[in-house]
Structure 1
Amino acid sequence: MKNNFFLLSAFAFIFSFISCTKEDSLAATDNDPIVASASIDLVNELDIKTGSQISFEKLTAKQTGKSSATSCATITDIATSAFPKTYNVDFGTGCTINGITRKGKLKITFSNYITETGSTMTIERVDYYVNGNKVEGKIEYKNITSSPNTIQWTRTVIDGKFTDTKGDVYINTGTHTIKQTVGVSTPTLDDNTYEMIEGTHTVTKQNGAKITLTVSESLIKSYNCDYVSKGKLKVNSTLLNGTIDYGNGDCDNNATYTQNGIIFPFTM
């Protein structure tokens, strides 16, 4: 995920280019919620990966040294003899990994092992910033597995609030369903593959501009790849109605946005 923040500048380029085409109505559209949505999704995935790594290292006693997700953070165990178990992840005044700088804290609480049906992992942001953007609210990651061969979770954003470096504020909500398709039976995270099979994310700017992104084809991401490698999101707003396509499965930073038959390639 180290270069996903380049998606911000990519979108800025894409939509400034669109506004110069004959689609004149697009020029009047506030595109900032799309840029904010890309950042919000990146942070959500980043924080869930951190929580998953802590669960793997702290709760299953399979620690092999600090992971890249927590290598420059201080992890404090709020000691309890039974679940729920809580860990504070403190990035201090600045912790940079793969070009992404985080500061502040994550408070991560496990109701049980996250591989157990019905268990939840709750991630709370405490004075938390990612690349200068303030991120507030919670993520609830709940295990909804009904078959031991297909582990599934829901990811719900609660009271999401994103304040960018310009001071613009975005309220965000959404719930997605995620299933693990590869690596279920192995004792490591590195071979895991996940699919976001359904869900919708809504981002509303302080001026009322809103955009909704809905999974139209499952998004596929491997644990050991920084990028979503396949899948599509449907983009909807008053004037922007297109599709983000992440490709055909290659682990790269290439994607496209398509609207009215016009394809705009970009890199994340």
Structure 2
Amino acid sequence: MATNYDDIADEYLQTKVNPIKKYSEEFTFFQALGDVRQQSVLDLACGDGYYTRAVRRQGAAPVMGIDLSPEMIRQAEAAEAAEPLGISYQVGDVAQMGAVGAFDVVTAVYLLQYAATESELQGMVNAIYANLKPGGRVVMVTGQPDLTEAHLAAQRHYEVIIEPQGPLADGVSIDTTIFVPEGAVKFTNHHWTKAAYARVFRQAGFHSVVWYPMQISAEGLALYPPEYWQPYQQYPAIAVVAGRR
């Protein structure tokens, strides 16, 4: 995992105000997640706990968050101290952690594209499977598996620059820059196709994998004119995918 989020933790928080994240990513993710009341949830790559807290507020319990970055976990624990929700956090590398429990749901927002090799991707998906109860679900946000040059061009409308470091094949490094109020946040991840995801999910033992079309909330459609959303609606750079053990 090339990006050290300890170094960019404060700046990364500013990306939460991007309209794409607020009105499409979150909306589509929670549409796919559905009702989690009284369900146990493990949030992988939880970062500062943004989604972890949101899932807990929707009635999930117990809820645990795991992230590779100690600084991100520090911020998540600070938020928990300021507003106790009963969430537990720990530092951990998903690709190597194995089982930490048996959960009804695993969530993972921007985890899988940090796998640099298919072996590492398989390790992450195996870990997800190992932490699910039989019949349990995983719901994730990841990079667009059908990424094209048109997708790259469309994101510039939203102050996001995506630069593949080679042909758009499995595992290619992608440098992303998101412009925020105080400058820019830069990080590196990797591109994976639907075929690669299908292989690793099948190998892990998942029974089904479903890709959800990106949607925009009614609030987002009301706040911004149709021409604002048009490039994104045609060429979204992110995707929501769910699987069932």
Which structure shows the higher strand fraction? 1
Structure with the larger RCO, 1 or 2 (CA within 8 Å, 6+ apart): 2
Which structure shows the higher helix fraction? 2
User: Bigger radius of gyration, 1 or 2?
Assistant: 1
TM-score calculated relative to the size of structure 2: 0.28
